[in-house]
């Protein structure tokens, strides 16, 4: 069949487009990303036939006349393409079904199998294909195609077909080669040697280099260079670095870009994957870089090294139509999971299921963490598709923490007393206070302010975006090891993971021992400060309403009680080996039996394992299960009203779609910046945080586009950030919640 006489799109024939796919497929093969030759051969057949259905007369008319799909006279081209595949040309009939499955389902404009089986469609299909030599598709064939969706080879063939097709259609390189990371790390060491000629890779980093072909599970204390260790393990391979917080992700992206890659051709080497990546790129750009190309290549997973949030990659576990592309990409990739203990039961279930699936399909996994509970290790190494790891723990004898435990709630008097004592002694007086809730952080802030402390700051998730970003910059600067300063920062668990800050003293509530030991890592991080007196103060008693009880609370009651028990006799020096021993003794599977956390994990794990392919739509996935809404507090709106309203008007200007691609992309980036300039004044709020009974608190809706808006709301917001309603104020708001939507 001569595909060069039919159009795939206005500017390309089916033959040209198909050849683009075949060329992309060969790139994957030549990079050794498709290791099984049989998979390669079958994917090649799928690439060849995937768009044959576009040769039908109605599709060709539509391309010629630039009209929309008409279901009364057309059938989706991917459905028609199946009829061109001759099952008799396959040595093994199952191979035909695998290829047919990929071709049929490379789009999901409709229920593809139902479209074939629908009696009313049969004459239309026959008519559309009448001028071609095609093959029958029987009910037996559709039954087989329906049941092959879980076959591993079929999944990979479909995933590689998607990857080749999307790359070709978007004119995006399918993969860039990683031929730079090992060299970049060597150059980093050379730079270190300029300052200290005895610099070398430590034992942790050497272990990761030596085990680059194995799955690894590494526990290493804070400050040992886990980022460099993870990069060594990835080496010159396709790699993903997965972290829980965007702040930490941005920080590592910046470090790798500047320190390892020397900002050299970043757009073909290093990608950022999180929900605000495009805005970050837009603000971070250099003039030579095409931001939209860079962003699209990042989203298509074409760039060799990506720093990512969990939700950007692991949504494939929901098996939505097209999920196979991510799984196929991860099948030849290496994933570093940083701080696995930070995830709740639901995310941990999705993460572990995803890791096991990727490993089964050929990908490699590294877990690098400061603390690892034995029950998590058990979950990874047991059940269906257990993972085999090379395991090692790395600690040194640097003494960092002298702990004093209080069998009471956190107390501003004790914090104030220490602050005053240090001030009188004229010693470095950087104090970090970590609370379990925003409300408690705000309470401690007010109490210390009332006592006359002026060098005080507060950071939590309930600030408008621009204020939070400014505060994060301040805490990084203040918390630098080299900075000798005086001041108190009050925060929440957002400072727990992967933030390179170093305070002299820590005052913290207990949440659980894993979280506590993460918090300790923000104090005397380098171990160079004196520890003859306590520098970490832990308050064991917490508000009962935040402990899990049915659907309420967020700190697991059983894990909290185990943690409290583990710390009851702790006083004085707490070494890294002490911390590991405590976690290994208390956070076992046996001890956690009956906990809400473990039962929720098992519930989510069972659900995700039993989820059928294509049962969920991608649009319905909320992996992080976030039930919050971004709003602009009215006080903030009044302060910046002119800017916000002006930007909203600019956003609603109609764009001329006939402009050239580059002009349209430029306008898109300008609109993204305008949206960002409005959204920087938003704060995330929960559904019970604002609305009063019988009173709709929405002051105004700010339009961002035809269908997108952000609410200006009447709420409490000041230097403390957003302030939640009291329990009395919350009563009865459920019935009014629909007003908000």
pLDDT in tens, 525-579: 888 899 999 999 999 999 999 999 877 889 999 999 999 999 998 999 999 999 9
Residues 363 and 455 in one domain: no
Please name the helix (run of DSSP H) or strand (run of DSSP E) that holds residue 456, with its range, or none: strand 456-458
Q: Which residues contact 413 (CB under 8 A, 6 or more apart)?
A: none
As beta bridge partners, residue 539 has: 406, 509
Q: Tell me the pLDDT tens digit for each residue of 374-426.
A: 999 999 999 999 999 999 999 988 899 999 999 999 999 999 999 999 999 99
Confidence of residue 691 (pLDDT cuts 50, 70, 90): low
Residues 438 and 359 in one domain: no
Classify residue 45: in a domain, yes or no.
yes
Residue 261 token pair: 């890659």
Residue 692 token pair: 């009063």
Q: Is 70 helix (H, G, I), strand (E, B) or coil?
A: coil
Confidence (pLDDT) at 76: 96
The yes-or-no verdict on residue 505 having pLDDT over 90 is: yes
Classify residue 121: in a domain, yes or no.
yes
The DSSP 8-state label assigned to residue 257 in this structure reads I
Q: Tell me the pLDDT tens digit for each residue of 109-123.
A: 999 999 999 999 999
Confidence (pLDDT) at 626: 56
Q: How far apart are CA 132 and CA 135, in angstroms?
A: 10
Q: Tokens 């602050």 sit at which residue?
A: 419
Confidence (pLDDT) at 624: 63
Q: Tokens 């930007």 sit at which residue?
A: 647
Classify residue 581: in a domain, yes or no.
no
Residues 383 and 254 in one domain: yes
Confidence (pLDDT) at 727: 61
Q: Is 271 helix (H, G, I), strand (E, B) or coil?
A: strand
653 CB-side CA count, 13 A: 12
As beta bridge partners, residue 523 has: 503
> Total structural domains in the chain?
4
Return the closest-CA partner of residue 225 out of 257, 252, 198: 252
DSSP sequence for 458-500: E--TTS-HHHHHHHHHHHHHHT-TT---EEEEEE-GGGSSS--
**Under the phi-then-psi rule, with left for phi > 0, alpha for psi from -120 to 50, and beta for the rest, what region is 614?**
left
Confidence (pLDDT) at 740: 39
The yes-or-no verdict on residue 693 having pLDDT over 70 is: no
Q: Tell me the pLDDT tens digit for each residue of 124-165.
A: 999 999 999 999 999 999 999 999 999 999 999 999 999 999
Q: How large is the average pLDDT for residues 683-706? A: 75
The yes-or-no verdict on residue 103 having pLDDT over 50 is: yes
Q: How far apart are CA 315 and CA 332, in angstroms?
A: 18
CA 741 to chain centroid, in Å, comes to 26
Q: Which residues contact 396 (CB under 8 A, 6 or more apart)?
A: 221, 224, 576
**Domain end among 367, 392, 417:** 392
Classify residue 592: in a domain, yes or no.
no
Residues 374 and 429 in one domain: no
Residues 151 and 297 in one domain: no
Q: Which residues contact 564 (CB under 8 A, 6 or more apart)?
A: 510, 540
In this structure, what CATH number is given to the domain that contains residue 40?
1.10.3210.30
Q: How large is the average pLDDT for residues 162-187? A: 97
Confidence (pLDDT) at 729: 58
Residue 292 token pair: 């939209």
Rounded alpha-carbon distances, angstroms, from residue 642 to 252, 345, 420, 647, 651: 36, 44, 44, 9, 14
Confidence (pLDDT) at 138: 95
Mean pLDDT of the chain: 92
Confidence (pLDDT) at 222: 80
Confidence (pLDDT) at 656: 78
- Beta strand pairing status for 572-573 and 536-539? unpaired
Confidence (pLDDT) at 696: 62
Confidence (pLDDT) at 614: 94
Confidence of residue 41 (pLDDT cuts 50, 70, 90): very high
Q: Which residues contact 54 (CB under 8 A, 6 or more apart)?
A: 6, 7, 8, 14, 60, 77, 81
Residues 305 and 428 in one domain: no
Residues 423 and 375 in one domain: no
Classify residue 217: in a domain, yes or no.
yes
As beta bridge partners, residue 456 has: 488
Helices 93-104/152-169 angle, 10° precision: 40
Confidence of residue 692 (pLDDT cuts 50, 70, 90): very low
CB 354 within 8 A of CB 326: no
- Beta strand pairing status for 716-718 and 721-723? antiparallel
Q: How far apart are CA 65 and CA 188, in angstroms?
A: 57
Q: Is 325 helix (H, G, I), strand (E, B) or coil?
A: helix
Residues 373 and 432 in one domain: no
E-assigned strands of 510-644? 536-539, 572-573, 628-633
Classify residue 113: in a domain, yes or no.
yes
Q: Which residues contact 31 (CB under 8 A, 6 or more apart)?
A: 175, 177
Confidence (pLDDT) at 128: 97
**Domain end among 368, 392, 416:** 392
Confidence of residue 473 (pLDDT cuts 50, 70, 90): very high
CB 330 within 8 A of CB 313: yes
Classify residue 144: in a domain, yes or no.
yes
Q: Tell me the pLDDT tens digit for each residue of 252-268.
A: 999 999 999 999 999 99
**Domain end among 366, 392, 418:** 392
Residues 211 and 146 in one domain: no
Helix runs in 288-406, H state only: 291-299, 310-313, 324-330, 345-360, 374-381
Confidence (pLDDT) at 223: 80
Return the closest-CA partner of residue 168 out of 257, 48, 32: 48
Confidence (pLDDT) at 739: 40
Confidence (pLDDT) at 1: 85
Q: How far apart are CA 607 and CA 41, in angstroms?
A: 35
Confidence (pLDDT) at 64: 94
Residue 476 token pair: 């990084």
Confidence (pLDDT) at 256: 96
Confidence (pLDDT) at 689: 75
Classify residue 621: in a domain, yes or no.
no
Q: How far apart are CA 721 and CA 689, in angstroms?
A: 13
Confidence of residue 611 (pLDDT cuts 50, 70, 90): very high
Confidence of residue 349 (pLDDT cuts 50, 70, 90): very high
The DSSP 8-state label assigned to residue 89 in this structure reads G
In this structure, what CATH number is given to the domain that contains residue 483?
3.40.50.300
Rounded alpha-carbon distances, angstroms, from residue 76 to 70, 108, 311: 10, 9, 31
Q: How far apart are CA 55 and CA 8, in angstroms?
A: 8
Residues 372 and 438 in one domain: no
**Under the phi-then-psi rule, with left for phi > 0, alpha for psi from -120 to 50, and beta for the rest, what region is 437?**
beta
Residue 718 token pair: 């000041």
Residues 240 and 161 in one domain: no
Residue range of the domain that includes 503: 402-574
Q: How far apart are CA 76 and CA 136, in angstroms?
A: 17
Confidence (pLDDT) at 162: 98
Q: How far apart are CA 162 and CA 103, in angstroms?
A: 10
- Measured over the CA atoms of residue 233, residue 235, residue 241 and residue 246, the dihedral's sign is positive
Q: Tokens 């002006």 sit at which residue?
A: 646
Helix runs in 574-694, H state only: 576-586, 589-592, 596-610, 634-639, 641-651, 661-679
Residue 426 token pair: 């004229």
- Is the model's pTM score more than 0.95? no
CA 422 to chain centroid, in Å, comes to 41
Residue 81 token pair: 């393409």
The DSSP 8-state label assigned to residue 343 in this structure reads S
The yes-or-no verdict on residue 648 having pLDDT over 70 is: yes
Q: Which residues contact 484 (CB under 8 A, 6 or more apart)?
A: 428
Q: How large is the average pLDDT for residues 271-284? A: 90
Q: How far apart are CA 568 and CA 570, in angstroms?
A: 6
Residues 485 and 374 in one domain: no
Return the closest-CA partner of residue 627 out of 682, 679, 676, 684: 684
- Beta strand pairing status for 402-406 and 486-491? unpaired
162-166, 194-198, 692-696: lowest mean pLDDT where? 692-696
Residue 103 token pair: 């071709």
């Amino acid at each position: 069949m001569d595909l060069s006489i039919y159009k795939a799109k206005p500017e390309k024939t089916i033959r040209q487009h198909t050849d683009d796919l075949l060329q992309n497929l060969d790139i994957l093969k030549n990079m050794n990303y498709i290791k099984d030759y049989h998979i390669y051969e079958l994917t090649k057949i799928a690439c060849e036939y995937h768009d044959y259905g576009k040769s039908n007369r109605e599709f060709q008319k539509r391309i010629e006349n630039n009209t929309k799909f008409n279901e009364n006279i057309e059938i989706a081209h991917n459905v028609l393409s199946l009829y061109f595949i001759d099952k008799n040309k396959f040595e093994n009939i199952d191979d035909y079904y695998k290829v047919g499955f990929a071709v049929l389902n490379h789009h999901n404009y409709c229920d593809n199998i139902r479209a074939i089986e629908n009696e009313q469609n049969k004459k239309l299909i026959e008519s559309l294909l009448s001028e071609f030599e095609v093959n029958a598709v029987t009910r037996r064939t559709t039954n087989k195609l329906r049941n092959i969706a879980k076959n591993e080879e079929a999944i990979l063939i479909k995933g590689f077909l998607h990857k080749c097709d999307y790359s070709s259609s978007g004119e995006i390189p399918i993969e860039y080669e990683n031929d730079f990371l090992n060299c970049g790390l060597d150059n980093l060491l050379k730079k270190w040697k300029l300052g200290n000629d005895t610099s070398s890779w430590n034992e942790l980093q050497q272990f990761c280099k030596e085990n680059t072909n194995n799955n690894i599970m590494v526990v290493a204390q804070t400050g040992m260079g886990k980022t460099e260790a993870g990069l060594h393990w990835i080496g010159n391979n396709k790699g993903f670095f997965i972290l829980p917080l965007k702040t930490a992700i941005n920080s590592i992206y910046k470090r790798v870009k500047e320190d390892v890659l020397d900002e050299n051709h970043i757009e073909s080497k290093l990608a950022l994957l999180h929900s605000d990546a495009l805005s970050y790129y837009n603000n971070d750009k250099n003039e030579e870089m095409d931001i939209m190309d860079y962003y699209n290549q990042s989203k298509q997973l074409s760039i060799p090294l990506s720093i990512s949030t969990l939700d950007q990659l692991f949504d494939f576990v929901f098996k939505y139509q097209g999920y196979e592309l991510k799984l196929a990409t991860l099948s030849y990739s290496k994933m570093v999971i940083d701080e696995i203990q930070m995830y709740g039961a639901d995310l941990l279930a999705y993460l572990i299921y995803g890791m096991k699936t990727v490993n089964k399909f050929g990908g490699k996994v590294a877990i690098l963490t400061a603390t690892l509970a034995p029950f998590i290790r058990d979950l990874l190494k047991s059940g269906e598709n257990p993972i085999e790891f090379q395991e090692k723990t790395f600690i040194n004898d640097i003494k960092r923490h002298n702990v004093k435990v209080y069998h009471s709630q956190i107390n501003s008097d004790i914090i104030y007393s220490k602050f005053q004592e240090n001030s009188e002694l004229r010693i470095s007086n950087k104090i970090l206070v970590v609370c379990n809730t925003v409300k408690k952080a705000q309470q401690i802030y007010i109490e210390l302010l009332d006592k006359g402390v002026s060098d005080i700051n507060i950071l939590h998730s309930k600030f408008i975006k621009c204020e939070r970003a400014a505060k994060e910059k301040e805490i990084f600067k203040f918390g630098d090891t080299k900075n000798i300063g005086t001041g108190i920062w009050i925060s929440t668990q957002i400072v727990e993971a992967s933030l390179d800050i170093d305070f002299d003293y820590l005052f913290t509530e207990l949440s659980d021992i894993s979280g506590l030991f993460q918090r300790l890592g923000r104090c005397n991080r380098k171990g160079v400060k004196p520890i003859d007196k306590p520098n970490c103060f832990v308050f064991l008693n917490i508000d009962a309403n935040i402990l899990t009880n049915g659907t309420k609370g967020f700190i697991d009651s059983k894990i909290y009680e185990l943690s409290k028990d583990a710390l009851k006799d702790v006083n004085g020096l707490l070494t890294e080996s002490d911390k590991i021993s405590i976690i290994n003794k208390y956070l076992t599977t046996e001890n956690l039996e009956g906990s809400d956390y473990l039962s929720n994990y098992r519930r989510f794990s069972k659900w995700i394992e039993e989820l059928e392919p294509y049962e969920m739509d991608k649009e319905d996935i909320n992996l992080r299960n976030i039930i919050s809404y971004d709003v602009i507090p009215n006080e903030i709106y009044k302060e910046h009203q002119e800017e916000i309203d002006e930007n909203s008007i600019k956003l609603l200007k109609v764009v001329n779609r006939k402009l050239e691609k580059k002009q349209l992309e430029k306008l898109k980036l300008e609109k993204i910046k305008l949206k960002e300039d409005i959204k920087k004044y938003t704060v995330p709020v929960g559904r019970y945080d604002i609305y009063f009974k019988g009173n709709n608190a929405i002051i105004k809706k700010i339009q961002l586009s035809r269908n997108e808006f952000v609410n200006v709301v009447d709420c409490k917001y000041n230097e403390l950030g957003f302030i939640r309603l009291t329990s009395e104020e919350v009563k009865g708001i459920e019935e009014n919640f629909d007003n908000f939507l």
